[in-house]
Structure 1
Amino acid sequence: MALWRIRATVDDRPGYLSVLTASLALRGVNILTVQVHTTEVGAVDDFLVDAPDSLDEAGLVAAVARGRGRDCWVARSEARGLADQPTRVLGLATGLVRDPEATGPALATLLAADEVVWRCAPAAGGIDGTTLTLPDPTGGSYEVRRAAPTFTPAEYARAQALTELAATVARRAVDQVTLVLPDGAELTVRPAGADDLPGVLELHRRCSARTRHRRYLGGAASPAPARLRRLLEPTQGLTLVATAAEPGAAAEPTVVAMANLLAEGDEAEAALLVRDDWQRRGLGTALLRRLVGHAERGGLAAVLLHVQAENAPMLRTLARLARPSAAERDGGLVTVTLPLATSAATTSVAAESPQVVG
């Protein structure tokens, strides 16, 4: 027996796929996997089959034709083809999370391509037979080529999802910075994601009731996990986490602070949560400066902070920004407004070298 890949188009009508599979079965062909790609000209069926050694390429093409298949392409396959498509795609995605620069090789593997070329000029995405053009979300475009078979819209969608994942990982890496506090402590500050939820839950657990109350203004209990998930990935705005390697902790750095910028309209509300043992060390000021800078680059008009009147440390943090501001007091709550000098710039601050916080 031998492994083959077969791709053929059949009319997208009830029963037509069964006619094709019956024709293969009559010749002793065992279908191991099948994928169906819907196109404008019919359903493109992609099979991985185990065929008798006596059946060659011409015999398989003839079997497909007798089963009402057309535009047939047949090629020998290797044992690695036995891995199902979701498993292969998840493996490629895992590799891109580790190294987003490997997008080209990942596309070649995903699409069984002969060549993947990245061009600096942007291009409209599309399919032209055995050439697939794909915009790169970080700039430029990819041109993917193979001898056969022709590309399908389903393959284009998979490739697009893979490049978007790589671009997201790359953007997060660019936005990551190393902070050196005045006491010499080093932390990593980066955009938060859903996978930070366990660390943020532990951050809240290790904060005092007073610190949590100052952050959320209404009670000292930790927010529900569902609310924290929304804070980690706001619809508009940005959430940063600060992590540090602590003695005796697990291999993964510990989340010691979280900074939220929640935008609505042309304004955004900022808030900080810094673990008690990391307070009064310059971390809050550094995080707030990054939030304000992000809001400015995003073209927002102002950043607002709601602070308890007795929260002197936070009010001192705002003063250290040395920016024009307006404060309004309503009972025990002070609302501070920081007007922004908006800029058309949209490029994130790269941080390839440590930033020293004074």
Structure 2
Amino acid sequence: MLEHTRYPTAFIDVWRLRDGTRLTLRPVLPQDAALLGNMVTRLSPTSRSNRFHGSIQGLPEVALNSMSCIDYARTMAFVITCEDEDRGEQVIADARYIVDARAADSAEFAVMVADRWQRRGLGRRAMQALTIAAQQAGLRWLHGDVRARNVPMLSLMRRCSFSCTPDQEDEDLVHAETSLGGLPWAGPVASRRQGLWRWLPWRSMVPSDVQAASGSFHVER
């Protein structure tokens, strides 16, 4: 069982878009599992492919519970929400990191923004919060993989001061990484092929064809 730290309320942020829409950024809560599931289901096939590197329609309940029940220490996750008149609170963006198993000073991150909310600054806002949380946690590096065809995401990474380097073995992948402590990047410790699937203890419950197609979570703008 995870040893949870206190819910980090200091990260809660509320603001309005130019059209007056009120948005809230906050650390994820256990009760967000269903909201995360709804968001994944509503993603376009392209966005789901960019995020999960495979053709899936949604995530099983155990996976969503793993994403929403975190310890706020080894794993940190933020959601951005809005209020829908018909459906109530909705998750429209998710950003998270998990500390590398063999390097306590670095973490792998992932970002996802619902299709209709992309290009409205949510990805950058989420990444800024994630970077601050990582710095406060004493991490020195953040790293993640972006699909080479995801030009908007690569642009976001560069705006957030991440360096982007093509994978030498897989031309479809670009490694995004940044130093949080002024030290040079030492390279990801974990296997590139594992990626963020290792976050999820339910991996064995996912069909093998999806696992093979996925390989890792991929950052979405």
> What TM-score, normalized by structure 2, do the two folds share?
0.70
Q: Which residue of 2 aligns with 1:249?
A: 86
| 8 Å contact from structure 1 (residues 180, 186) kept in 2 | yes
Q: Which residue of 2 aligns with 1:239?
A: 77
| 8 Å contact from structure 2 (residues 142, 179) kept in 1 | yes
What is the SS of the residue equivalent to 2:92? strand
Q: Which residue of 2 aligns with 1:339?
A: 179
Aligned-partner Cα distance in 2 for 1:212–1:282: 20
| 8 Å contact from structure 2 (residues 11, 129) kept in 1 | no
* CA deviation after TM superposition for structure 1 residue 237, in Å: 2.0
| 8 Å contact from structure 1 (residues 183, 281) kept in 2 | no
Q: Which residue of 1 aligns with 2:29?
A: 193
For 1:176-230, what per-residue CA distance to the aligned partner results, in whole angstroms no more than 9, with x for missing partners? 1113335543210111121111111111111111111111223343232212221
Change (3 A) 1:295 1:172: closer
What is the SS of the residue equivalent to 1:221? coil
Structure 1: which amino acid aligns with 2:138?
Answer: G
* CA deviation after TM superposition for structure 1 residue 340, in Å: 0.8
Q: Which has the larger radius of gyration?
A: 1
| 8 Å contact from structure 2 (residues 157, 164) kept in 1 | no
> What TM-score, normalized by structure 1, do the two folds share?
0.45
What is the SS of the residue equivalent to 1:341? coil
Change (3 A) 1:182 1:316: farther
Q: Which residue of 2 aligns with 1:115?
A: none
Structure 2: which amino acid aligns with 1:241?
Answer: V
Change (3 A) 1:244 1:338: same
Q: Which residue of 2 aligns with 1:212?
A: 48
Structure 2: which amino acid aligns with 1:202?
Answer: N
Change (3 A) 1:244 1:197: same
Following TM superposition, where does structure 1 have runs of at least 4 consecutive aligned residues deviating by more than 4 angstroms? Answer: none
Q: Which residue of 1 aligns with 2:105?
A: 266
**Across the two proteins, how many residue pairs are aligned to each other?**
172
Aligned-partner Cα distance in 2 for 1:316–1:309: 11
Aligned-partner Cα distance in 1 for 2:111–2:20: 22
For 1:276-320, what per-residue CA distance to the aligned partner results, in whole angstroms no more than 9, with x for missing partners? 100011001100111111111111111012100000111111122
Change (3 A) 1:295 1:173: closer
| 8 Å contact from structure 2 (residues 158, 164) kept in 1 | no
| 8 Å contact from structure 2 (residues 80, 92) kept in 1 | yes
What is the SS of the residue equivalent to 1:223? coil
Unaligned residue ranges in structure 2 (runs of 5+) = 183-221
What is the SS of the residue equivalent to 1:226? helix
Instruction: Quote the sequence identity (%).
Output: 28
Match 2:118 to one of 274, 279, 295: 279
Change (3 A) 1:205 1:301: same
Structure 2: which amino acid aligns with 1:179?
Answer: W
Structure 2: which amino acid aligns with 1:340?
Answer: L
| Higher normalized contact order (CA 8 Å, seq sep 6+, divided by chain length) | 2
